[in-house]
Amino acid sequence: MDAYLAVVAKREVREYLDRPVPEDVLTKILQAGRATGSAKNSQPWRFIVLVDREHRHDLARAMMAPRNLDRCAVAIAVVLLNERLRFDAGRVAQDMMVAAWALGVGSCPNSVRPDEHDRMRQDLGVPPEAAVATIITLGYPAPGQPRPRPTADPEKIVAKLNRLPLEELVHREHFSG
Ligand SMILES: Cc1cc2nc3c(=O)[nH]c(=O)nc-3n(C[C@H](O)[C@H](O)[C@H](O)COP(=O)(O)O)c2cc1C
């Protein structure tokens, strides 16, 4: 799929088919994370792949949206080794989600409830100086959910986006109005 199309068409998918994501597809998604740039190439992230259904069910209680983790096919917890580098966590998560979309796989970033973060960290064996930046839930989209369409026209998608218009987002030379 064209990179521009993948970036503008990627929507969050929160309902998934009961169909596993093949290991080679999952590996490509993880490679997209691995390839992501970071400050001084520090790669301040680690990825925990969560496949086991019971494990995900237990972890789901700690999430803002438990259902996503409970019902997905597989999830990737993005562990940030240095909490100051939040920009890098966003980059790596989005790269994996856009790559997944281009491979036909839906995804959603998921926040851990702040009051459950310590428990989540302990449960996953994440060291105290690190943080669980997000948990990406993944799976093939259920009927009615947004889905990747490789032949879609990106301009039509851009025209319908529920986002602020460029006129409001973009400034030239200085921030104004
Ligand atoms: C930092 C961050 C945290 C998010 N946390 C959740 C979450 O806990 N659960 C959820 O269902 N979606 C979560 N989302 C997804 C947003 O709701 C979504 O990106 C936004 O509504 C745009 O969705 P769209 O691209 O499908 O229009 C999160 C997004 C970001 C960037």
* Cα 27 from Cα 113, distance rounded (Å): 28
User: 176 alpha carbon to ligand 1 midpoint, in Å?
Assistant: 28
**Which segments of 2-85 does DSSP mark as H helices, in order?**
3-9, 23-35, 53-60, 66-71
Given a cut of 60, whether residue 177 has pLDDT beyond it is: no
Given a cut of 90, whether residue 10 has pLDDT beyond it is: yes
User: 173 alpha carbon to ligand 1 midpoint, in Å?
Assistant: 31
User: 12 alpha carbon to ligand 1 midpoint, in Å?
Assistant: 7
- What pLDDT digit, counting tens, does each position of 115-172 carry? 999 999 999 999 999 999 999 999 999 999 999 999 999 999 999 999 999 999 999 9
- What pLDDT digit, counting tens, does each position of 59-79 carry? 999 999 999 999 999 999 999
pTM of the model: 0.96
What's the confidence (pLDDT) of residue 1? 80
* Cα 74 from Cα 170, distance rounded (Å): 37
Pocket test for ligand 1, best of 72, 88, 95, 111 (most atoms within 8 A of CB): 111
Domains of the chain: 3-169 (3.40.109.10)
Pocket test for ligand 1, best of 7, 110, 113 (most atoms within 8 A of CB): 110
- What pLDDT digit, counting tens, does each position of 70-125 carry? 999 999 999 999 877 889 999 999 999 999 999 999 999 999 999 999 999 999 99
